[in-house]
């Protein structure tokens, strides 16, 4: 079993399939390999594992396998509890680091139906003694509050400076002042391509006097994953010098994420009264807005509620209708 993870495994000839086996396992990911391994430990050795890609592919190959016991049947819960116990000693048994770690995880509900199902499951789990509960968006943001800076879909500039109109430098200066005033400020996450190469740990430490561990730069996040990021964020920081519209503002508000943005066009027109607005050059004002959101009771909840209402006013259908009306008006005026 150990040799499945060695490079030399790739140069072996595949054995010919036999006419019959005691057990045939379809799928050579985490579950299939684990089944084969523990059958072998119990003396069942005539086993075939069938996998169309390569053994250890899927979640095992990406190190994203999750063992969890929050299932709705006592049998399922006990099965996964036992699986965790087996995994605890598996690295030692195989003499191979499986990168196994034990921690909690959050499952995001994307709609009312999903939220109902998760709440029902959590209550059943608690009756079985499993540490599982349904938590609100406010609690999620307290668990993993982050300040998100977004807007780097591509590199739009030459040299070593960050995209000027996104005002990242001013945001970092403001964040450094906010952290100096309040040590428990949540970490800042800066999204986008090319940012990590410019905001190195040395730059964060020497130029902005920030602990590099306080600034997380994951790179470009897929658009489909952004609702999860917004939903867990303590705020979207969007203090641009200008925007043609500012779609991330609407996206964040639609996900219940409080927003701090700038007074530059067209940001105030988009957010209305549903965000904190500061001048793009007002570093102290931006720091104060961050501190207000982190420390002022009830402010995040109020912005979240107003943001949901404001975001509901926008739709592609409504935007297309307005554009069509304007073009029709211009066309009639020009022909008159």
CATH of the domain at 10: 3.50.50.60
Nearest to 214 by CA among 240, 182, 243, 248: 182
Q: Does residue 313 share a domain with residue 194?
A: yes
Query: DSSP strand E in 111-257: where?
Result: 147-149, 188-191, 215-219, 235-238
User: Same domain, yes or no, for 55 and 203?
Assistant: no
pLDDT tens digit at each of 336 positions of the chain: 455 455 444 445 667 889 999 999 998 887 888 889 889 999 999 999 988 877 776 666 666 677 777 778 888 888 888 888 888 888 888 887 777 777 777 777 777 888 888 889 888 888 888 888 888 766 665 655 567 775 443 333 344 446 678 888 899 999 999 999 998 898 999 988 778 888 889 999 999 999 999 998 888 788 888 888 888 888 999 999 999 899 999 999 999 999 999 999 999 999 999 999 999 999 999 999 999 999 999 999 999 999 999 999 998 888 899 889 999 988 887 665
User: Is 277 a member of any domain?
Assistant: yes
Residue 144 lies in a domain: yes
158 and 235 assigned to the same domain: yes
Please tell me what DSSP assigns to residue 73. S
The residue from 94, 118, 153 where one domain ends is 94
Same domain? 222 vs 299: yes
Q: For residues 241 and 172, what is the distance between their CA atoms, to the nearest angstrom?
A: 15
Q: Is residue 135 part of a domain?
A: no
In a domain, residue 100? The reply is no
In a domain, 326, yes or no: no
How many domains does one find in the chain? Answer: 2
Q: Say yes or no: 87 and 173 in one domain.
A: no
At 334 the pLDDT is 66
- On whether residue 234 sits in a domain, the answer given is yes
> What is the distance, to the nearest Å, from the Cα of residue 304 to the centroid of all Cα atoms in its chain?
19
**Residue 295 falls in which region: left (phi positive, over 0), alpha (psi -120 to 50) or beta:** alpha
* 188 & 270 share domain: yes
124 C-beta neighbours (distance < 10 Å), count? 16
**Do residues 264 and 194 both lie within one domain?**
yes
- Report the Cα 267 to chain-centroid distance in Å: 24
Q: Are residues 60 and 205 in the same domain?
A: no
User: What pLDDT score was predicted for residue 91?
Assistant: 80
Residues 234 and 305 in one domain: yes
Task: Specify whether 155 is located in the same domain as 77.
Answer: no
Same domain membership, residue 169 and residue 81: no
Same domain, 191 and 285: yes
For strand 147-149 and strand 47-50, is the pairing parallel, antiparallel, or unpaired? Answer: unpaired
pLDDT at position 3, please?
52
Domain final position from 37, 61, 94: 94
Is position 105 within any domain? no
Q: Is 278 inside any structural domain? A: yes
d(CA 193, CA 151): 9
Domain of residue 248 covers 140-318
Residue 187 carries which DSSP code? Answer: P
| Cα–Cα distance measured from residue 224 to residue 192, given in angstroms and rounded to the nearest whole number | 14
pTM of the model: 0.61
Contact 220, 197 (CB under 8 A): no
What DSSP line would sit under 211-230, residue for residue?
-GGGEEEEEPPPGGGHHHHH
Entry field: residues in the chain: 336
**At 192, which CATH number?**
3.40.50.2000
Report CA-CA distances (Å) from 183 to 149, 176, 202, 249.
20, 10, 21, 27
Structural contact between residues 140 and 106, judged by C-beta atoms closer than 8 angstroms: yes
Tell me the helices (H) and strands (E) count for the chain, helix number first.
14, 8
What is the Rg, in whole angstroms, of the alpha carbon atoms belonging to the chain?
A: 26
Cis peptide before 247 (omega within 30 of 0): no
Concatenated DSSP letters for 268-307?
Answer: HHHHTTSSEEE-TT-HHHHHHHHHHHHHSTTHHHHHHHHH
Q: What integer pLDDT is reported at residue 324 of this predicted model?
A: 92
Structure tokens at 225: 């994953």
User: Of 94, 109, 131, at which residue does a domain stop?
Assistant: 94
């Amino acid at each position: 079993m150990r040799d499945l993870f060695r490079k030399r495994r790739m140069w072996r000839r595949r054995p010919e399939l036999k006419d019959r086996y005691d057990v045939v396992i379809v799928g050579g990911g985490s579950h299939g390999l684990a089944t084969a391994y523990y059958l072998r430990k119990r003396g069942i050795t005539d086993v075939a594992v069938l996998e169309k890609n390569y053994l250890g592919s899927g979640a095992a190959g990406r190190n994203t396998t999750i063992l969890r016991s929050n299932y709705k049947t006592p049998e399922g819960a006990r099965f996964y509890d036992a699986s965790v116990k087996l995994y605890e000693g598996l690295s030692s048994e195989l003499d191979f680091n499986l990168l196994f770690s034990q921690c909690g995880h959050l499952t995001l509900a994307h709609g009312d139906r999903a939220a109902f199902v998760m709440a029902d499951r959590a209550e059943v789990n608690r009756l079985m003694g499993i540490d599982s509960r349904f938590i609100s968006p406010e609690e999620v943001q307290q668990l993993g509050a982050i300040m998100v800076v977004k807007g780097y879909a591509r590199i739009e500039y030459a040299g070593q400076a960050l995209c000027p109109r996104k005002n990242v430098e001013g945001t970092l200066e403001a964040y450094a002042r906010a952290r100096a005033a309040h040590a428990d400020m949540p970490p800042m996450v800066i999204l986008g391509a090319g940012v990590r190469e410019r905001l190195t740990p040395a730059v964060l430490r020497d130029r902005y006097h920030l602990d590099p561990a306080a600034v997380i730069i994951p790179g470009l996040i897929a658009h489909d994953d952004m609702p999860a990021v917004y939903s867990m964020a303590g705020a979207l920081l969007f203090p641009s010098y200008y925007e043609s519209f500012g779609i991330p503002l609407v996206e964040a508000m639609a996900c219940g994420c409080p927003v701090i943005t700038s007074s530059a066009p067209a940001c105030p027109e988009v957010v209305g009264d549903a965000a904190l607005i500061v001048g793009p050059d007002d570093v102290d004002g931006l720091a104060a807005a961050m501190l207000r959101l982190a420390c002022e009771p009830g402010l995040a909840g109020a912005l979240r509620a107003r943001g949901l209402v404001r975001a509901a006013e926008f739709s592609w259908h409504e935007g297309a209708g307005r554009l069509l009306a304007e073009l029709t008006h211009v066309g009639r005026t020009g022909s008159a």
